[in-house]
Amino acid sequence: MTLPSWQVAQLAAAQEGINFLWIDGEHGMMTPEVVGAMINAGKCDATPLVRIPDSQTWMVKQALDLGARGLIVPMVETPEEAEKIADSMLYPPDGIRGYGPDYAARSWGLSCGEYSTVANEDVFFVAQIESKLGLENAEAIAAVPRVDLLFAGAYDLSIVRGRTGE
């Protein structure tokens, strides 16, 4: 969803057969407040996944602290980068995520202690492959523990191939 509207998120999540909401924080014009509202508005049976603009640790932490159940991270190019992202998604001792779970815990309907354990087990990581280097390393990226899914960024890959938009 690129439209920054919690109302639209709520309507979409309530539709039969919708399993997840892709909240686009990369190309959608969204503030953290809007992303948080969309995550919570769409909590029916749809899992809120947030595509963050970049793989910087603070962006990972912010989206998860808002209550995202998973992240879609663009332009993942190497297994080392995927490992760093995965580490930033998890609380110690499994990772390096800073501890500030109050909002996310409430969003998930858990206490802070419960959230810390459950989040380390359940947070979903989608590595988006959008470059030639990412394609070359796709198998190695997929082998990184905690990478749950690879997603091909079709338009960026079409540009890399010299076939914009195909």
Strand 149-152: give its sheet, edge to edge: 20-24, 47-51, 70-73, 124-129, 149-152
The answer to whether residue 12 is catalytic is no
The catalytically annotated residue of 7, 14, 27, 33 is 27
Residue 32 tokens read as 């953290």
**25 near 36, Cβ under 8 Å?**
no
DSSP secondary structure letters along 14-34:
TSTT--EEEEETTTS---HHH
For residue 47, the 8-state DSSP code is: E
- Catalytic residue annotation: 27
